[in-house]
Amino acid sequence: MVNTKKKKICIVATSLSVGGAERSSANLSKMLCDLGHEIHLVTVLSGIDYDYRGKLFDLGAIKQANDTKMGRVKRLLTFKKYLRKHDFDIIIDNRSRVQAYREFIVSKLIYRWPTIYVIHNFNQDKVFTKYKRLNQWLYKNEQMVTVSRASEEKFRILYGLNCITTIYNGFDYDRIQTLAKEDIDLKLPNDYILFYGRIDDHHKNLKLLLKAYKSSDLPSSDIALVILGDGPDLNMLKTLVTQLDLNDSVMLKGFTKNPYPYVKNAKFTVLTSRFEGFPMVIPESLSLSVPVVSVDCQSGPNEVIVTGENGILVQNHDAQKLAEAFGKMISNDQLYNTCVANAESSVKAFSLKEVMQSWEQLIQTVSK
């Protein structure tokens, strides 16, 4: 795809490692490269788990060498120097922006180019400072992008944002299909459901997942629960599995760069988050014709899942309703087969082609 209005773009990300926003940043770099733009990525932290395209500048290496107050000042000055050196047409900031002093410095003193701020979470504590008036002052007239309609509506009202729109995360379905065929040693039971994501109970509510699974018909039906991922609550999760006497039914497989063979072979995938921006695991799973059982958290699931058509959407924080949804998926063949048949076609709107066009239009408008 050739773009006649090539731009020099800097994508700023927390890292390219372990996380939905991080994976989205890596995917965005590939999309914009395919559109013909020159892409640079600046990462605050080191670590690469996701494929990306463009020139990488790792501020995390400076952080590892010197994380004192003076080291932080040095990183900010180095960042500013890098931006001035390359004189970008536009900056796309994918970071969370929660530290007041840092965001004042970055937004008002470092960013001197047209900037798009991307919001990857519905929980304002994860993406903005705790000072409402400061957020309004910093971003009221800046171009903001959310990854769900619900987030767009929330933050437009909460902070009085004048320039905010939704662009969903884009998915390379052809690549997902190819990776799903990778021959790896799964060592998995014949029948299982799958959770994959960061092992962070505050965010993903894994206690709810285990409680619902325990009270469902799945363990007695020899349908295992496979949990794929790593994070700060892994030890807690292992302890809880033992306490619930689920060691024979729950498998903890750790983090993998390629979860798709696991997804492809699952009966369905599960999302139990307390909050999200837009959960990437849902379109990924559906694109592999694997239904999803998800809680109706804010935000994202109810913008993709239609109960009875491609999965089941359940009231959040209700373990019994979640357990019942698990049971329906394994006992109602007509429901399950309908969801399988509709899954792939239900996520066409999140294809790279559709999302790339939205980003291209916004970039050309903002960078005029």
Residue-wise pLDDT for 8-63, tens only, equals 999 999 999 877 889 899 999 999 999 999 999 999 999 998 899 999 999 999 88
Q: Tell me the CATH number at 288.
A: 3.40.50.2000
Q: 214 and 241, same structural domain?
A: yes
Q: Which residues pair with 56 in a beta bridge?
A: 41
Encode pLDDT of 108-122 as tens digits. Answer: 999 999 999 999 999
Local confidence pLDDT in tens for the 368 residues of the chain: 444 589 999 999 999 987 788 989 999 999 999 999 999 999 999 999 889 999 999 999 988 888 898 989 999 999 999 999 999 999 999 999 999 999 999 999 999 999 999 999 999 998 999 999 999 999 999 999 999 999 999 999 999 999 999 999 888 999 999 999 998 777 888 899 999 999 999 999 999 999 999 999 999 999 999 999 999 999 999 999 999 999 999 999 988 889 999 999 999 999 999 999 889 999 999 999 999 999 999 889 999 999 999 999 999 999 999 999 999 999 999 999 999 999 999 999 899 888 999 999 999 999 87
Q: 309 and 245, same structural domain?
A: yes
Alpha helix positions (H), the chain: 20-34, 59-65, 69-86, 100-104, 132-139, 149-159, 173-180, 201-204, 206-215, 234-243, 260-264, 281-287, 319-331, 333-343, 352-366
Q: 126 and 20, same structural domain?
A: yes
Residue 1 falls inside a structural domain: no
Q: 289 and 241, same structural domain?
A: yes
**Full-model pTM:** 0.83
Amino acid at 180: A
Residue 355 falls inside a structural domain: yes
Residue 3 falls inside a structural domain: no
Residue 2 falls inside a structural domain: no
Q: 329 and 220, same structural domain?
A: yes
**Structural domain that includes position 132:** 8-170+351-366
Q: 19 and 90, same structural domain?
A: yes
Residue 220 falls inside a structural domain: yes
Residue 345 falls inside a structural domain: yes
Q: 155 and 287, same structural domain?
A: no
Q: 211 and 332, same structural domain?
A: yes
Task: Count the helix, strand and coil residues of the chain and give each as a percent rounded to the nearest 5.
Answer: 45, 15, 35
Q: 256 and 118, same structural domain?
A: no
Residue 235 falls inside a structural domain: yes
Residue 110 falls inside a structural domain: yes
Q: What is the largest CA-CA distance in the chain?
A: 63
Q: 159 and 270, same structural domain?
A: no
Q: 356 and 332, same structural domain?
A: no
**Residue 201: closest CA among 240, 225, 157, 232:** 232
Please give the Cα distance from 282 to 347 (Å, whole number): 9
- Count of the separate structural domains present in the chain: 2
Q: 297 and 282, same structural domain?
A: yes
